[in-house]
Amino acid sequence: MAAPARVLVVDDSPTMRGLITAVLNQDPDVSVIGQAGDAMEARAAIKQLNPDVVTLDIEMPNMNGLEFLEKIMKLRPMPVIMVSTMTHRGAEATLAALEIGAFDCVAKPQPGEPRPFGELAEKVKAAARSLHRHHSAPQVRPVAAAPAADFRVGRKIVAIGSSTGGVEALIAVLQKFPRNCPPTVITQHMPPTFTKSFAERLNRLCAPVVEEATDGARLEIGKIYLAPGGERHLQVSNASAPCCRLVERAPVNGHRPSVDVLFDSVAELAGRNAVGVILTGMGRDGASGLLKMRHAGARTIGQNEKTCVVYGMPRVAYELGAVEHQLPLTSIGEEILKLTAARKEGIE
């Protein structure tokens, strides 16, 4: 980056504004150029300062962050990182913001947290250099899924990994799935408590059943399992039947849950009877796991650069040779179904 990312911090709490500013200013590639306590102040600051990135509190007086984000995306699209509480209400509002077009989200720190806003600077820098800097995402609406009779499911399972931009991407992919979709496991980098709300949101928007994964849940046709954020990784294993396992391990690639941990387990359990998909996101999590899946005989898909919010994880996977098919987001759902459908000559 030629110059530091210029950031406007918007939060109604002076204490929180000070904390965010202090954290960001520790990074030499980030510069906080202004602060605002509400939407009116923020609007004036955006006009005056023309920031590269805005951090935006969800809950503010007069006009909340969600309403202000909608105005930004309509009138002056720019990368916005939402700052939210860890409550259910905060999670719901943040997920709505990500669908509207927010770049990413961070959770407000809990009392005593050792590294408050630990990932914020990296997210700000990624936002500043985002390919979709002036992209305004449309609100996602439920769509009619293909009737179950049109799709005969085979024996394959699907594993998907995603991070920044993944909320919109996952909705776009999973809305293509019919009610009798193949068993699907997903790791999306997301703060704790947000994943339950996201699973509930996906369940309302999509034809299959979507739920937050629980330890021991059997992998079933017509069900999608989302890794819970927090202290455990999602894996798949085969005890009496293929099932989800939540395991306590150190973070991998800086993440827990980690996409690599999920993909590694799918490669071992399913081999050629799996499809691996890596979607938009920062960093490299999932790339080596997807390569293991491909070496084990699985079919693999990566989101292409043009449609990624951040072409990080898919790029590393592609450069490693892990990606068999690189596709635009709008084509990935159909490709998954094509690769998992039962063959005419017999169930695969």
**Set 84, 130, 162, 163: catalytic member:** 163
Q: Cα–Cα distances in Å, from 230 out to 190, 191, 218, 303? A: 8, 7, 21, 26
264 is catalytic: no
If DSSP codes are grouped into helix, strand and coil, which group holds residue 158? strand
Catalytic residue among 132, 189, 233, 255: 189
Paired tokens of 311:
């072409």
Start-to-end CA span in the chain (Å):
48
Query: Using an 8 Å Cβ cutoff, are 245 and 269 in contact?
Result: no
Task: Of 223, 221, 224, 261, give the one whose Cα is nearest residue 245.
Answer: 261
Whether residue 163 lies in the annotated active site = yes
Determine the residue type at 252: V
Residues with Cβ within 8 Å of residue 344, at least 6 apart in sequence: none
Four-point Cα dihedral 194, 277, 120, 305, nearest 10: -140
Mapped onto helix, strand or coil, the DSSP state of residue 272 is coil
Is 189 annotated in the active site? Answer: yes
Question: Tokens 């700000």 map to which residue?
Answer: 124
Return d(Cα 85, Cα 203) in angstroms, integer: 23
Dist CA 332 CA 310 (whole Å): 17
Beta bridge partners of 161: 187, 278
- Are the CB atoms for 198 and 171 separated by under 8 Å? no
Q: Is 123 exposed, middle or buried (0-12, 13-18, 19+ CB in 10 A)?
A: buried
- Number of C-beta neighbours around residue 15 at 10 A: 8
Point out the residues that are catalytic.
Answer: 163, 189, 285
